[in-house]
Amino acid sequence: MAMDIKQVGPAFAGEVTGIDLRLPLDAKQVVFVEAGMDEFAVLVFRNQPITDAQQLEFSNNFGQIESSEGGNPTSKLHNRRLRVDMADVSNLNEKQEVFERFDRRRLFNLGNRLWHSDSAFRATPAKYSLLSARHVPKNGPNTEYADMRAAYDALEGWMKEEVEDLICEHSLMHSRGALGFTDFSNEELETMKPVLQALVRTHPANRRKSLFLASHAGSILDWPVAEARIFLRDLIEHATQPQFVYAHRWAVNDLVMWDNRQTMHRVRGFRGEEQHRDVRRTTIAGDGPTTRQRA
């Protein structure tokens, strides 16, 4: 079957057909997917019943797989369900049971309902994320994606100048703090030190500019905190208007792949949280920091 990509929803989301993710990809297929990512930024692959090993092998085609360590400081070696090179964004504990309401891992994961870009809290933020739906409830939550290139393009000229050289501080502390989840041990806090990120990024392949926003961003260098927070809040509101958003409705065995350098995403809440939602993410590390870090 020939490889193809068809636009689904707004211009930045495409559905790929003609590739079986269970099999090793040849060079042509890898180039096809990468070119598709550069053009679209979100790609959907349907009916891909893959194992963890197959997901890792497919992900390996696109760069270095990021360790999920530190991505959820409440998740420790003894209570992890998945290997460390996979991020567990399910609602399940290590016994494959739905989290108790007050489980800290659940509370921490609620942060995924805020708009974000994966690993923006790391000095080198993520390139791609690949999320495989192994089991999803019938009326489970959508995951929404926002096109940060279109959002940048739609800024007025004076605003483009205003944001051009701004540097933000990002930390998991800020996104979780926004939800009132501040109950962290000193050891956990140690892993959540803020990093610096450029607010405007240029994509290395398509040279388009995008807003690099996330709920982890809590301040702007040299700005009063209150002014930075309302400015960032307004920008996120701008960037997530319906015309910039694709909502993915999950079916079992979907794999969605997105470029964190050009998009933000969030998962929505859902009724029936007692149902298993098993979604597993592999993450491709970025090439390097978006700006110089503090010494």
**Residue 112 binds to ligand OGA (criterion: CB under 6 A):** yes
Nearest to 36 by CA among 7, 56, 10: 7
* Kind of pairing between the strands at 209-211 and 263-267: unpaired
Q: Distance (Å, rounded) from C-alpha 295 to C-alpha 136?
A: 44
Q: Determine the Cα angle at 249 with ends 245 and 250, to 5°.
A: 135
- Are 91 and 106 in contact by the 8 Å Cβ rule? The answer is yes
3-class secondary structure, 289: coil
Q: Distance (Å, rounded) from C-alpha 255 to C-alpha 257?
A: 7
- Are 65 and 85 in contact by the 8 Å Cβ rule? The answer is yes
Pick 112 or 290: Cβ nearer ligand OGA: 112
Q: Distance (Å, rounded) from C-alpha 182 to C-alpha 202?
A: 34
**Residue 88 binds to ligand OGA (criterion: CB under 6 A):** no
Least gap, CB of 279 to ligand OGA (angstroms) = 5
Pick 109 or 219: Cβ nearer Mn ion: 109
Nearest to 266 by CA among 143, 133, 85, 95: 143
Pick 104 or 116: Cβ nearer ligand OGA: 116
Q: Distance (Å, rounded) from C-alpha 62 to C-alpha 20?
A: 16
Least gap, CB of 26 to ligand OGA (angstroms) = 28
Residues that bind Mn ion (CB under 5 A): 118
Pick 135 or 160: Cβ nearer ligand OGA: 135
Pick 166 or 279: Cβ nearer Mn ion: 279
282 binds, among ligand OGA, Mn ion, none (CB under 5 to 8 A by kind): none
**Residue 91 binds to ligand OGA (criterion: CB under 6 A):** no
Q: Which residues from 136-155 bind ligand OGA, rule CB under 6 A?
A: 143
Residues facing residue 15 across a β-bridge: 6, 44
Retrieve residue 31's tokens. Answer: 């180039």
How many residues sit close enough to ligand OGA to count as binding (CB under 6 A)?
10
Least gap, CB of 281 to Mn ion (angstroms) = 7
Per-residue binding letters, 232-271, with ligand OGA (x by CB under 6 A): ---------------------------------x-x----
Per-residue binding letters, 267-286, with ligand OGA (x by CB under 6 A): x-----------x-x-----
**Residue 44 binds to ligand OGA (criterion: CB under 6 A):** no
Pick 17 or 142: Cβ nearer Mn ion: 142
Torsion over CA: 241, 220, 174, 149 (sign): positive
The full DSSP string for 266-282 is EEPP-S-TTS--EEEEE
Pick 58 or 121: Cβ nearer Mn ion: 121
**Residue 118 binds to ligand OGA (criterion: CB under 6 A):** yes
Least gap, CB of 87 to ligand OGA (angstroms) = 6
Secondary structure element (H or E) that encloses residue 133, with its range: strand 126-135
**By the criterion CB under 6 A, which residues form the site for ligand OGA?**
89, 112, 118, 129, 131, 143, 265, 267, 279, 281
